Every structure is written in structure tokens, then in C-alpha cells.
Amino acid sequence: MKIFWTTLNPRLRAIAVFIAAVLFSLLGFLATGSFEPLNFFFAFYIAALLVYFLARWGFFALRISLVLPNQKLASYEKLRKNPGRRRHGPTSEAEFLDAGEADEELLPDDRVIGIFHNGEAAAYPLASMAVRETSNEEFGNTPVIVSWSPVTYSARAFVARTGSGPQLTLGRHTYTVFNSPLMPDDDGSGFVQFIGQAVVGKLAGWTLKPIPVVTTTWAAWKQAYPYTEVLSTEGGPDRDVFESYYASDRNGIHSLNPTDKRLYGKDVVLGLDIDGEAKAYSYPGLIEQPLIEETLGRTAVLVLQERASATAAAFSRTVNGRTLTFNGLTKNPRRRSAEATASGEGERDDYEPWLIEDNQTKSTWRAISGECIEGELKGDRMEMLPAMTGFWFAWSRFYPDTELFGAIGEIPE
């Protein structure tokens, strides 16, 4: 019965609630013994008011079948439409610059999404992506969709193809699931940005293959990848229009308070899902303990937090068949100014990269890229894992009962 009611057409549900509310109101008036013709008006008014507030709360939202990561059974979740008028993107087509040209548009501490794939590096400023939302690219011969959701603070990239099917082109969203954008393709299918799963259309059930990304500062990314391309901010805002949202207590456009209270709703986490084993690492916890070595899903994992650029990343510690262990080589200083957003961002005048050293060969590695820059293993790279940033209120919904490092009251000092 519950599934029947959940999957019933939203309009039919609204009509059923309206009729039931009218009948109960009339019964209430009859029970008082003072029934009058005017009571019909009040009954309809009460029912209409109830339906209005339930609609605002999303009670009548369309429900879609969603199989959460690492779950076997589908759940029926709300497909919510964006409130208010639709936001329009930039008036110009996407243009890419080299690093030197990008210096004229970006400040050293501006946040970017960084991708290194198939030997190619590209950076996407958050200020630009907050308006564009998606960017359909090719890295070598691989079609890639790059996306950014300011509401859930999630940067994602996926191979833009389902199996051996044609290349996908994904666009701006008008609907959300758990506040995560539903990225539509040209054929009417829609992919949930947070997990890459299609939940509507003929491709429903497909999950796109993730590609690792990091969110970092322009100065840090340019130093690690000096030959990077950069998405121009021309035609868009010169600052992230969601800064006020980041600093507020609001959990999503459609309010979604976390049911898991181990962190505050807008605490940022770095999430890993490896072979069905998921774990989240809170940014506050990583700031206190910025180097973590463990095994997840039978993969030897290294999780790092470079404080100077507020960058968290995860790598496989196995290089050329050998599992390495690490320690910090240079200082990893905290950011000097007050944090500007829940992500731990703030301004820092001079960026110095955090370097780490493996204990087996004493080689030197960049923390945010996993590249060995000096020593026996120079030129090698640790494999970056597809770790996912996101606000806790979103991660804990998509990954219920997740393992967590750095919960409130458990942050190491």
C-alpha cells in the first residue's frame, strides 16, 4: 500500500488528500453540533491550506526509483523541481585558456576543479561552473562530463558514455534528488550528479564511471600542472555567486537536515567508495590529521589534506606493485585567515606545496597530485582514486550508515 501511494501520480495524491481533509473537517463540524452551510467554505479552506503546505514541503513531489550505492533494494525518493525562476547560464560559449592567460582572470586563491586524465590537465573555476553547471569535454579519446553542484558542494567527472553506447551530452538541471542536480541528456534520461546514476528515461539504472577530480586553489593547481588548460570565466560572474549560501546554515535549496548527526549538515567530507566499501573523511578531521593510511575495499589507501590550499585527495599507495608508506617532508601549515566558507577556504598570501616522502625509497611526492618529483621513483604517479567532496547532509543521505573519520567530538588533536 505504501509503495502504491508513493508511486501514485502526484496530482491524484493531492486530490485524495484534499478530499480527505474536507471530509474530516466536515465531520469535525458535525461533531460539535453546530453545522452550518458556511462550514463547507471553512472545510474547503482548511483542505486547500493543508495541500498548499504539503506541496511546499514536497509531500506531493514525483517519486523515482533509486538504488543507493552499496544497497540492494530500491527506494522511492522525491524528484524536486527547482524553486523560483530558472537561472540562465553564460551568454558565451566555453573558452579555454593557457595558464599564463588564466593568470589575468584568476587570483591565486580562487577555487578550481582540477582534472588530470589521459595525460591532459584542465582546471574549471568554481565561479564559472556555479553558473554553467556542466562542461562536456574530451580528454584524449575519452568523452568526459565535468560537473559542479554548489548546493551539495560536489565536484564530479564521469566518462560520458554508458557501456558501448554513444557519447552523452549532459546539460543544466531543473530537478534534484536529495538536492543533487539531475543532469539531463538529449534523449530525456537524467543522471543524479552526486553518484552518476540515471534514474529517469531509457537509460535508468545505468551508473556512469567516475573520473578523479580535486577542488583546490588556482595557485596550487598551476604549480602542480603548469601546462594545464583553464576554463575562462568570460561571460560569467567574477566570483562564486553561492558564497552566501556556503556561509549560511541552510542545508540545500530544498531543506534536507542530516538524519546522521555525527557531523553538522554543511561540514565538508571527502568520500571514498571502493568495491562497495564506503568511508567519509571530514575536512575538520583531516585538518587535524592530514595524512591517513589504511585499507579500504582491499586497496591500500592514502588520504591527504594540504592545508595551504584546503585540498583533500586520495590515492592508491601501491606503486609498481609495491605498497608504500608515507610521512610529511615539508611543513603543512594551517591557513592563516579566518575560514570563509564551510569548506575551510580562506585567503593565503604565499602558497607553498606540501611535500611528502615515502619510507621505502625516500622519494619526494606532491601531496595534491601524487606525482613523485625527486628520488628513485621520480616521474611515477600514485593512482588518484575517485574520491568525492560533498556536504555531510548530502553524503549521509546517499551513503547511509557510512563509516566516518573525524566525527564531532572524535577529531584527533
Q: Is the residue at 244 inside a domain?
A: no
pLDDT at 338: 35
**For 134-155, what is each residue's pLDDT tens digit?**
999 999 999 999 999 999 999 9
Residue 183 pLDDT > 70: yes
More reliable by pLDDT, 157 or 58: 157
Same structural domain for residues 294 and 399?
A: yes
Degrees, nearest 5: CA angle 135-390-6:
90
pLDDT at 396: 94
Same structural domain for residues 261 and 358?
A: yes
Continuous segment of H or E residues that includes residue 238: none
d(CA 399, CA 178): 12
| Among the ranges given (234-243, 279-288, 380-389), the one the predictor scored with the smallest mean pLDDT | 234-243
Same structural domain for residues 398 and 263?
A: yes
> 228 near 222, Cβ under 8 Å?
yes
Amino acid (1-letter code) at residue 200: V
Residue 345 pLDDT > 90: no
Tell me the residue range of the domain where 45 lies: 2-60
Q: Is the residue at 289 inside a domain?
A: yes
**Total count of domains within the chain:** 3
For the whole model, what pTM was predicted? 0.85
Same structural domain for residues 339 and 399?
A: yes
DSSP 307: G
In terms of Cβ atoms closer than 10 Å to its own Cβ (0-12, 13-18, 19+), residue 410 is exposed
Dihedral sign of CA atoms 115, 116, 120, 123 in order: positive
Same structural domain for residues 343 and 277?
A: yes
Mean pLDDT of 311-321: 96
**According to DSSP H, which parts of 242-329 are helical?**
243-247, 283-288
CA distances from 44 to 21, 29, 38, 39, 171 (A): 8, 13, 10, 9, 42
Degrees, nearest 5: CA angle 134-139-143:
60
Last residue of a domain, one of 13, 34, 60: 60
Q: Give the three-class secondary structure for 20.
A: helix
Q: Is the residue at 246 inside a domain?
A: no
Same structural domain for residues 202 and 147?
A: yes
Q: Is the residue at 116 inside a domain?
A: yes
pLDDT at 165: 80
d(CA 31, CA 391): 50
> 379 near 255, Cβ under 8 Å?
no
Same structural domain for residues 364 and 322?
A: yes
Mean pLDDT of 232-256: 81
Mean pLDDT of 292-306: 96
Q: Radius of gyration over alpha carbons of the chain, in Å?
A: 24
Same structural domain for residues 56 and 190?
A: no
Residue with cell 625516500: 362
**According to DSSP H, which parts of 262-357 are helical?**
283-288
d(CA 19, CA 3): 21
DSSP 62: E
Dihedral sign of CA atoms 146, 151, 152, 153 in order: positive
d(CA 408, CA 84): 35
**For 47-92, what is each residue's pLDDT tens digit?**
788 777 777 666 666 677 788 888 877 777 778 887 655 555 554 5
Last residue of a domain, one of 60, 75, 106: 60
Q: Is the residue at 237 inside a domain?
A: no
pLDDT at 410: 82
> How do beta strands 142-149 and 277-282 pair?
unpaired
Degrees, nearest 5: CA angle 84-182-401:
110
When pLDDT is cut at 50, 70 and 90, the band that residue 344 belongs to is: very low
Residue 107 pLDDT > 50: yes
Mean pLDDT of 199-212: 93
Mean pLDDT taken over the chain: 86
Same structural domain for residues 301 and 359?
A: yes
Tally of residues, the chain: 413
Q: Is the residue at 74 inside a domain?
A: no
CATH number of domain containing 180: 2.102.10
**For 379-405, what is each residue's pLDDT tens digit?**
999 999 999 999 999 999 999 989 999
* Structure-block grid coordinates of residue 215: 577542488
Same structural domain for residues 167 and 28?
A: no
